């Protein structure tokens, strides 16, 4: 299959999808409409935006599922601080699960001071809300097993 100038430059496609710019205007600016017919340009734009909608829908659904699995106190804490506290099911230790990517699980003492950071993630490319649910469930139900496979980073 032949590629055109646009397909070799995924940066432009990402900019187009994320920035919400006028798709045809951007294509004309890059001179792509000279290589593509308007129909192919329209099809490409629709497929690009469909991918963005699917990613946004998966992200939105994962956060809705997360909120359904949080207690009211955890939900309020998550909305206020972008993390929630979980009590380990085996030891009773307290963990804060933060919304950021890796190293987002912090073990805290009774005063709320961080002791350790833990790194463990489910396999696969999952939306962040699903990752947070998996971490919450792992600590609540399988704390000892989870910490055996997790990587600890002392503070």
- Average pLDDT of the chain? 78
Task: Over range 65-73, report the average pLDDT.
Answer: 94
Distance CA 74, CA 122 (A): 21
From 18-22, 53-57, 145-149, the region with the lowest mean pLDDT = 18-22
Cβ 117 vs Cβ 88: under 8 Å? no
- pLDDT over 50 (residue 22): no
- pLDDT over 60 (residue 35): no
Q: What are the phi and psi torsion angles at 11 (to 5°)?
A: -60, -40
How confident is the model at residue 109, as a pLDDT?
95
Tokens of 71: 């207690």
- pLDDT over 60 (residue 34): no
Cβ 52 vs Cβ 23: under 8 Å? no
DSSP secondary structure letter of residue 100:
S
Read off the pLDDT band of 39 (50, 70, 90): low
Q: What is the pTM of this model?
A: 0.66
DSSP string for residues in 97-138? EESSSSS-EEEE-TTS-EEEEEE---SS---HHHHHHHHHHH
Domain boundaries, the chain: 10-60, 70-154
């Amino acid at each position: 299959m032949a590629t055109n100038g646009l397909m070799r430059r995924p940066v432009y496609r990402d900019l187009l999808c994320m920035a919400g710019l006028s798709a045809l205007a951007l294509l004309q600016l890059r001179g792509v409409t000279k290589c593509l017919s308007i129909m192919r340009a329209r099809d490409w734009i629709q497929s690009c935006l469909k991918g963005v909608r699917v990613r946004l829908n998966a992200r939105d659904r994962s956060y809705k599922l997360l909120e359904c699995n949080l207690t009211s106190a955890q939900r309020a804490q998550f909305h206020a601080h972008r993390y929630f506290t979980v009590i380990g099911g085996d030891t009773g230790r307290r963990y804060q699960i933060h919304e950021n990517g890796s190293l987002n699980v912090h073990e805290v003492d009774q005063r709320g001071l961080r002791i350790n950071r833990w790194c463990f993630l489910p396999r696969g490319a999952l939306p962040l809300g699903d990752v947070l649910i998996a971490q919450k469930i792992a600590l609540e139900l399988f704390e000892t097993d989870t910490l055996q496979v997790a990587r600890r980073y002392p503070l």
